[in-house]
């Protein structure tokens, strides 16, 4: 054997300052970086495909039993159902959401500039402002300033919604290209996903039980956000939209707005139907206002308080305020994908802290002066 050459099988062992191990580690990290550069344009599609595959995998198993173990037909059945559902949602968006958004924004601007709002400002707001100015002369805001600011904000909000809705419609080709890629990745994950997960679990330098905990935590958190959070929000939007339709308010647009408002803790959908009740009251539609208040206050609120615990049963237990902050932070960093990424990152941090606490519990107890008999 030549001097200086390590024996066979020992050149890659992390012993001391082994230059071979360091070189291998640098090369491994560099290869991961190159792989990330290659996959970065498709990263959102890959993550969404993994999440949707994990959520719909129980359905795939049932289809697998129906197709007598043939994986390709089972995967095609699941993907066909997903494609049909997406097609229905797209049709509803294009056929109803955009036109109702335009009409709702126009009606809102017209109402804010009309006699109803001017009368409210003159009757209720202006005397209050005058009373404040008696005690604080520097306070120079008038009712007309409030009306102009609200009209401007309403116009800007409407333009923002219409601009983004038009942008979504304009990027149809890009959307369908990404959708096709997600479905294609899901197809191969259905067929080879289990063996791929086993291979990755083998390569990850964690105990097998810890690896399973991390994977299960990610699956539960993604299911919590998509199946639990989104399902409850969509159901609340549908129920609220029905109530809006009954009182003559554009249902599809404001129901969709209610879906997004459902993610806000404490107030939730009240951000949408509460002002609607106030507006109806100002316009003198007392019966419609009372009906909408009872409909949304009882039915829509009950969906959140009853169905959410049922749909999120067994999911990761994290404080609501942290989940809300993770959603806001995720949207700020990742855009719309932050609705999913934020809670998943929060769940990953939580499970890694649990693993850390379990792995180093003796050291942590020793620092606190807790022996085995003081647990």
Banded pLDDT at 119 (limits 50, 70, 90): low
Q: What is the pLDDT of residue 33?
A: 92
The pLDDT > 70 percentage for the chain reads 68
Q: Is residue 2's pLDDT more than 50?
A: no
Mean pLDDT of 289-295: 88
What's the pLDDT at 47? 87
Phi-psi label, residue 37: left if phi above 0, alpha if psi -120 to 50, beta otherwise: alpha
Mean pLDDT of 269-297: 82
SS3 at position 147? helix
- C-alpha to C-alpha distances, 237 to 95, 234, 243, 267, 328, nearest whole angstrom: 17, 5, 10, 14, 20
Average pLDDT over residues 91-102: 67
Alpha carbon of residue 174 to chain centroid = 21
Mean pLDDT, to the nearest integer, of 321-346? 80
Instruction: Tell me if 224 sits within 8 A of 314, measured CB to CB.
Output: no
Residue 366 CA, chain-centre distance (Å), reads: 40
Dist. CA 60–CA 190, nearest whole Å: 7
**Residue 132 pLDDT exceeds 80:** no
* Number of neighbouring beta carbons within 10 Å of residue 81: 13
Instruction: Check residue 261 and give its pLDDT.
Output: 79
Q: How far is CA 106 from CA 151, 242, 302, 326, in A?
A: 11, 21, 32, 34
- 38 vs 169, more confident: 38
Is the pLDDT confidence value at 138 over 80?
A: no
In this prediction the pTM is: 0.63
167/192: higher pLDDT: 192
- pLDDT confidence band for 275 (50 / 70 / 90): confident
Predicted local confidence at residue 375, as pLDDT: 47
Q: Is the pLDDT of residue 347 over 60?
A: yes
31 C-beta neighbours (distance < 10 Å), count? 10
CB of 237 closer than 8 Å to CB of 259 = yes
Is residue 1 very low, low, confident or very high in pLDDT (cuts 50, 70, 90)? very low
Confidence bin at 241 (pLDDT 50/70/90): confident
Query: Pick the residue with more confidence: 227 or 286?
Result: 286
pLDDT per position as a tens digit, 186-219: 999 998 888 888 888 788 777 777 787 888 777 7
Q: Reply yes or no on whether the pLDDT at 306 is more than 50.
A: yes
The larger pLDDT score, comparing residue 90 to residue 355, is at 355
Digit-coded pLDDT (tens) for 41-79: 888 888 888 888 888 888 888 888 888 888 889 999 999
Burial environment of residue 65 by CB neighbours within 10 A (0 to 12, 13 to 18, 19 or more)? exposed
């Amino acid at each position: 054997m030549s001097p200086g050459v390590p024996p066979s099988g020992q050149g890659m062992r992390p012993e001391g300052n082994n230059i071979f191990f360091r070189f291998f580690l640098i090369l491994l990290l560099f290869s991961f970086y190159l792989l990330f550069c290659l996959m970065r344009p498709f990263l959102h599609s890959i993550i969404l495909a993994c999440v949707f595959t994990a959520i719909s995998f129980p359905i795939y198993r049932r289809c697998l039993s129906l197709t007598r173990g043939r994986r390709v037909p089972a995967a095609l059945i699941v993907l066909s159902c997903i494609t049909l559902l997406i097609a229905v949602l797209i049709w509803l968006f294009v056929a109803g959401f955009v036109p109702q958004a335009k009409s709702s924004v126009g009606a809102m601007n017209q109402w804010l500039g009309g006699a109803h709002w001017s009368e409210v400002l003159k009757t209720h707001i202006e005397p209050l402002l005058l009373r404040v100015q008696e005690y604080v002369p520097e306070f120079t805001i008038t009712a007309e300033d409030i009306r102009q600011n609200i009209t401007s904000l309403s116009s800007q909000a409407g333009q923002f919604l219409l601009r983004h809705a038009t942008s979504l419609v304009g990027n149809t080709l890009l959307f369908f290209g990404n959708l096709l890629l997600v479905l294609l990745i899901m197809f191969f994950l259905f067929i080879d996903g289990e063996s791929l997960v086993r291979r990755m679990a083998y390569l990850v330098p964690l105990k097998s039980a810890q690896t399973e905990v991390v994977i299960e935590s990610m699956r539960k958190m993604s299911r919590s956000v998509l199946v639990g959070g989104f399902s409850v929000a969509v159901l609340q939007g549908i129920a609220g939209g029905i109530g809006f339709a009954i009182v003559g308010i554009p249902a599809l647009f404001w129901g969709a707005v209610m879906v997004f408002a459902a993610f806000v803790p404490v107030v939730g959908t009240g951000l949408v139907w509460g002002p609607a009740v106030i507006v109806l009251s100002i316009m003198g539609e007392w019966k419609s206002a009372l009906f909408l208040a009872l409909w949304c206050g009882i039915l829509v609120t009950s969906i959140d308080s009853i169905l959410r615990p049922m749909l999120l049963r067994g999911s990761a237990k994290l404080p609501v305020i942290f989940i809300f902050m993770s959603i806001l932070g995720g949207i700020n960093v990742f855009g719309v994908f932050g609705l999913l990424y934020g809670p998943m990152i929060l769940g990953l941090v939580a499970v890694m802290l649990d693993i850390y606490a379990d792995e180093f519990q003796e050291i942590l107890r020793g620092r606190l002066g807790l022996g085995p008999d003081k647990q």
